A and B are shown apart, each in its own frame.
Chain A
């Protein structure tokens, strides 16, 4: 009986164990600069600019508290992991995805389009926690009074830079 127990101890972990544990990470060059992308089977789960891997790792560990590993693969940038968001936040981000490059919309427009015309501030809050900036282009949502509005990944200065890159006069 001891031998059978010891044999059980030679069981090997399936590859899916580590796959489910680690998020994958890679740097990609975008026209906005060196961008760090994290993804899993659901899709891209985090995006951030950073100057180095250690800097990015520190930010990711503090914000997501999940392990990641660097891979040579490329993520599918059309699928997103929005599973940690509320249905309302997902609605806001899905609508924001539709705003074409070179154009902007207002927070009020997003609120109207998703059927919550008075929830303008809530739209702003949902965009502020967008886990996948750049790819869900929350920088294309601006204030109705002409003020550019805030931006999670570097503030109004970065938001203006991105929009200028895309040919929007701001």
Chain B
């Protein structure tokens, strides 16, 4: 098995920022990242050697986190709110003290998922378009146009559809 603790250290900031961009809330972002890591851990236990060797960890973690997020949106809160009795942090993050960031979080949260997801992957996570397309399982052209339209809506601060 891969060094899971190392994997968490290497990717926790990235998955947390991903969850923050998607959900608009630090507490939700923390739970999304935690649950994604736990699912990843359990998946790794069952993967054969060959699959572990070929695993591209970063896009794989994004896909898991995206599924966790989508399931939460669909089904309300999961039973796995608190994993082991610890509470998510309620403190404000340094990024919230930057003027404009809170506003962008708010506007992102108001975007339809089909724009928000590629936008967060493309700019918050700084992935190239091809990698965004791979994570979302969509053609590059679709991603490109959704990123473009998403940015336009974000600038306008309005979403024209629900």
The DSSP consensus for interface residues of chain A is mixed
Judge whether B155 is part of the interface by a CB distance below 8 angstroms. yes
Q: Mark A22-46, 1 if CB is under 8 A from B, else 0.
A: 1100000000000000001110010
Residues on A with C-beta less than 8 A from B30 are: 13-14, 16-17, 20
Judge whether A81 is part of the interface by a CB distance below 8 angstroms. yes
Q: Which of A10, A41, A45, A66 contacts B17 (CB 8 A)?
A: A10
Q: Is the CB of B16 within 8 A of A12?
A: yes
Judge whether A86 is part of the interface by a CB distance below 8 angstroms. no
Q: Is the CB of B84 within 8 A of A8?
A: no
Judge whether A5 is part of the interface by a CB distance below 8 angstroms. yes
Residues on B with C-beta less than 8 A from A10 are: 17, 95
| Chain B nearest Cβ from A1, distance in angstroms | 5
Judge whether B126 is part of the interface by a CB distance below 8 angstroms. yes
Q: Is the CB of A1 within 8 A of B17?
A: no
Q: Is the CB of B34 within 8 A of A21?
A: yes
Q: Is the CB of A42 within 8 A of B84?
A: yes
Q: Which of A14, A19, A21 contacts B37 (CB 8 A)?
A: A21
Judge whether A118 is part of the interface by a CB distance below 8 angstroms. no
**Which residue on A lies nearest to B46, using beta carbons?**
A65
**Which residue on B lies nearest to A62, using beta carbons?**
B45
Q: How many residues of A contact B (CB 8 A)?
A: 33
Judge whether A72 is part of the interface by a CB distance below 8 angstroms. no
Residues on A with C-beta less than 8 A from B100 are: 4, 7
**Which residue on B lies nearest to A19, using beta carbons?**
B86
Q: Mark B127-148, 1 if CB is under 8 A from A, else 0.
A: 0000000000000000000000
**Which residue on A lies nearest to B45, using beta carbons?**
A61
Judge whether B85 is part of the interface by a CB distance below 8 angstroms. yes
The answer to whether residues A5 and B119 also contact, given A10-B95, A21-B34 and a CB cut-off of 8 A, is yes
Q: How far is the CA of A1 from the CA of B111 in the complex (A)?
A: 14
Q: How far is the CA of A8 from the CA of B29 in the complex (A)?
A: 12
Judge whether A78 is part of the interface by a CB distance below 8 angstroms. no
Q: Mark B69-94, 1 if CB is under 8 A from A, else 0.
A: 00000000000001111111101011
Judge whether A83 is part of the interface by a CB distance below 8 angstroms. yes
Q: Is the CB of B95 within 8 A of A16?
A: no
Q: Which of A9, A19, A69, A83 contacts B124 (CB 8 A)?
A: A9
Q: How far is the CA of A40 from the CA of B86 in the complex (A)?
A: 8
| Sample of 9 further A-B pairs with CB below 8 A, known A1-B104, A7-B100, A40-B85 | A1-B151, A5-B120, A5-B123, A12-B93, A14-B16, A16-B30, A21-B34, A21-B83, A40-B86
